[in-house]
Chain A
């Protein structure tokens, strides 16, 4: 029956290639019976030509102008027959006015990639030097979308039960010490799933994996002659295509299958996958940048333009995607739906998300349609949506990001407060009490589930470097140390950089353990940076965006040299998962609503029940009543945490336990190896049940049993 439809046959022919009128939706190139349907939108192009290449060939084998009658509205569409799905590369030429001051930048001499292409060729192997004379460097291709997922589906773990591990695909396994076959690839991550399980995280957040060009802005490091590249990848060339160079099979064009296989395997092991997505700008730069796709297809639609036709630069990288334009908004929606349904992605972290709330003229919107659409989208209904709630244009929305009951945020205030508390700043105890509760001061109606807590992320110092450097050391980036943030809230523990001083090194490890502990006993969702569990250093560089070097590659030998840190990280992560009282979806009520005799949370100081809220205080204790776990629906152990950020040890009087329960010591960061933390269920009983001598700059965690 199927082949009797008349639209399965061509009506037109051009240079021997057969085609017919296509369908305007969906956008992009879609495999249809006997052919491929091409559809591309441009609000202002006068005409459009489909350009076809055999894979890798210098010159196209055909150029087919869209007949006028194939344009429906502002969409050019055509179905071309008998194409080789696997060998085809395609692009478009758009003809129209070139009047930059009016926003028009058409140039029919340039072959443009399709904003909706699902695979992009041209950077198939990481750092393989491209042919700089290629007339069409980033080539749209077709993707096979028939992956066998078997029974897999997104895990839908409640967000408060996640422990996120922020990871760079190359950084994770490129170092020779990773000792695997396909280092630096999706496949490499798959080889290390046993490690992720043993660490105890249950979500990885991949730094950008949408196709970008590592050669963008590449240059030679003046210090050592090494090549500097776009390593982080916050510069999207195409939103639908996974980065081919991150796949061991990218050279065969199989990156789609390789990434899906990784995700399926992670899901089998209970690990969710978040993507760090960059919808605030593209790789096309400002008016001096390259024309790759969007600029040549519909500059005025895709970019926020000044009245003079220049590019608004709220991203700090040259241009700003016009996300609240209805067409661009739909592209973002289409894209996220595609990743959620086609790749089974569990959540998205939106880079510089405040931009997504700006109007087309750049002004902040009170009810941004894009954010609302994402929050209420049927396909994305179970996906976690996480905002980096600020941008480079000065819009800072931590606590006030338009959330629609859905959005969580990277809690930058958590990071700043915990860092300052750890380095010994005063005046922070009140704020810390809020941060460890899931920041009810910021998210009173949204709950702790709105707060992604972190102390370090890819942007800035690693946790190790936060306690080893006062200042950034970014000279190797070739920008005279002018790049990267200056407000690191770091303290070098007494010496700038590496040292043989055992006392300083002990303090640095202790501070890393302090940070991990505070993070894991805080309400909200914790996120750790890849390598922080083993003391990874970037040698004081706090902006390693261009370093495809050991500075960024995780050195797996650190598991031996910093075995105490890894053991600590493993056990504190397990502690969080073992204790639901640490993972509430709702805020504390500060009273006893289950009749246990204790309020759900109580604050303490060196005197029980009397926290020191004074300006000069550096101490805080808190107790979580186990009978109030998960809003009183689950019974857990009662947990007490003492934090002493003073430079002298202090006696903390302990709250008295009722009913014969005794305090047991789970963690004491002041102790040296093997006594600093204990396996779950093997916590030694505390001899003196009335007080604890908490070491200088130390955190203690007790469990009542």
Chain B
């Protein structure tokens, strides 16, 4: 798994590549916590993620809870149809803003 962190227009953007499962979730969690430190908003780019396990979904939820505590929002970008389906069936999707591109994500966060 590869994780890249950027700041785009003062918003934290985390790009993930590879599967997020119980093996890689701790690494993802650690990087994400680091990246969102002091941030009110976050965009997570999942367009290069093919599989998100229960443990992976829980890291996303943990990020959501931390951001929500700052009254912020979490945007997920490029989520595959299958992962969206899983997130919808398990209710996780309700916590996130789902968009196709990072630009759209920035736009939706700016609109508040």
Whether B86 is near chain A, meaning CB under 8 Å from some CB there, is yes
The reply to whether A182 and B89 contact each other, CB–CB distance below 8 Å, is yes
Flag whether A548 is at the interface (Cβ < 8 A).
no
Contacts of B85 in A (CB 8 A): 181-182, 248
Cα distance A86–B57 in the bound complex, in angstroms: 12
Q: How far, in Å, is A275 (CB) from chain B's closest CB?
A: 19
In contact, B22 and A144 (Cβ under 8 angstroms): no
Do residues B89 and A261 form an inter-chain contact, with CB atoms below 8 A? Answer: yes
Q: Mark A169-211, 1 if CB is under 8 A from B, else 0.
A: 0000000000001100111000000000000000000000000
Complexed CA–CA distance, A187 and B85 (Å): 10
Q: How far is the CA of A146 from the CA of B92 in the complex (A)?
A: 12
B112 is an interface residue with CB less than 8 A from chain A: no
Distance in angstroms from B88 CB to nearest chain A CB is 8
- By beta carbon, the residue of chain A nearest B52 is A252
Shortest distance in angstroms between A621's beta carbon and chain B's nearest beta carbon? 50
Asked if A86 and B90 sit within 8 Å, CB to CB, the answer is no
A653 close to chain B: CB less than 8 A: no
Q: Are B58 and A144 in contact (CB under 8 A)?
A: yes
Q: Which residues of A contact B22 (CB under 8 A)?
A: 84-87
Most buried by A among B21, B22, B54, B58: B54
A257 cross-chain contacts in B, Cβ below 8 A: 54, 57, 90-92
A137-160 CB mask vs B (1 if < 8 Å, else 0) is: 000000010101000000000000
* A265–B93 CA distance with the chains assembled, in angstroms: 13
- Report which of B55, B57, B89 forms a contact with A85, defined as CB distance below 8 A: B55
- Tell yes or no: B61 within 8 A of A by CB: yes
B53 within 8 A of A: yes
Question: When each residue 40-80 of chain B gets 1 if its CB lies under 8 Å from chain A and 0 otherwise, what string results?
Answer: 00000000000001110110010000000000000000000
Q: Which residues of A contact B53 (CB under 8 A)?
A: 86, 252-253
CB distance from B20 to the nearest CB of A (A): 11
Chain A, 509-541, CB within 8 A of any chain B CB = none
Chain B residues positioned under 8 Å from A185 (CB to CB): 89
Contact A252 B23, CB 8 Å, known A261-B90, A261-B91: no
A86 touches B89 (CB 8 A): no
Picked from A249, A264, A265, the residue with its CB within 8 Å of the CB of B86 is: A249
Q: Do A264 and B55 have beta carbons less than 8 Å apart?
A: no
Which chain A residues lie closer than 8 Å to B58 at the CB level? 144, 146
Q: A85-B22, A86-B21 are in contact. Are A248 and B54 (CB under 8 A)?
A: no
Complex: chain A residue closest to B25, CB-CB: A86
The CA of A333 and the CA of B85, in the complex, are separated in Å by 35
Q: What's the least CB distance linking A592 to chain B, in Å?
A: 52
Residue of B nearest to A187 (CB): B89
- Whether B55 lies near A249 (C-beta < 8 A) is no
Residue ID in chain B nearest A257 by CB atoms = B90
CB of B91 within 8 A of CB of A86, answer no
Q: B51: nearest residue on chain A (CB-CB)?
A: A252
Min distance, Cβ B29 to any Cβ of chain A, angstroms: 14
User: In the complex, which of the residues B21, B23, B89 contacts A254, with contact meaning CB atoms closer than 8 Å?
Assistant: B89
Rounded to whole angstroms, the CA-CA distance of A84 and B26 in the bound complex is: 11
List the A side residues contacting B88 at CB < 8 Å: 187
Q: How does the 8 Å CB contact mask read for A257-276 relative to B, with 1 for contact and 0 for none?
A: 11011001100000000000
User: Closest CB of chain A to B46's CB: distance in Å?
Assistant: 16
* Residue of A with least CB distance to B94: A261
Please give the distance in Å from B53's CB to the nearest CB on chain A: 6
Query: Distance in Å from the Cβ of B13 to the closest Cβ of chain A?
Result: 25
Residue B55 contacts which of A86, A187, A260, A265 (CB distance < 8 angstroms)?
A: A86
> Smallest CB–CB gap between A278 and chain B, Å?
26
Complex CA gap A257/B86 in Å reads: 10
A258 to B89, CA, bound (A): 6
Q: Decide yes or no: A258 and B90 within 8 Å by CB, A181-B85, A248-B85 being known contacts.
A: yes
A84-B23, A86-B22 are contacts. A254–B91 as well, Cβ < 8 Å? no
Q: Taking the complex as formed, is A703 at the interface, i.e. its CB lies under 8 A from any CB of chain B?
A: no
Residues B61 and A86 in contact, CB atoms below 8 Å apart:
no
B-contacting residues, A30-45, CB 8 Å:
none
- Given the known interface contacts A84-B23, A144-B58, the answer about A264 and B89 at a Cβ–Cβ threshold of 8 Å is no
Measured CB to CB, the closest approach of chain A to B90, in angstroms, equals 4
CB-CB under 8 A for A248 and B91, given A86-B21, A144-B58:
no
Asked if residues B54 and A254 are in contact (CB atoms below 8 Å), the reply is yes
Per the bound structure, the CA–CA distance linking A275 and B92 in Å amounts to 24
Task: Kindly list chain B residues whose C-beta atoms are within 8 Å of the C-beta of A186.
Answer: 89
Cβ of A507 under 8 Å from chain B:
no
* Whole-angstrom distance between the Cβ of A69 and the nearest chain B Cβ: 31
| 10 pairs of A and B residues whose beta carbons are closest in the complex | A261-B91, A86-B22, A257-B90, A187-B89, A248-B89, A249-B89, A258-B89, A84-B22, A86-B55, A254-B90
Known pairs A87-B22, A182-B89. 6 more at Cβ < 8 A?
Answer: A144-B55, A249-B90, A252-B54, A252-B86, A257-B54, A261-B89
Q: Which B residues have a C-beta under 8 Å from some C-beta of A?
A: 21-23, 53-55, 57-58, 61, 85-86, 88-92, 95
CB<8 Å pairs between A and B, sample of 24: A84-B22, A84-B23, A85-B22, A86-B55, A182-B85, A185-B89, A186-B89, A187-B88, A247-B89, A248-B89, A249-B86, A252-B53, A253-B53, A253-B54, A254-B54, A254-B86, A254-B89, A257-B54, A257-B57, A257-B90, A257-B91, A258-B90, A261-B89, A264-B91
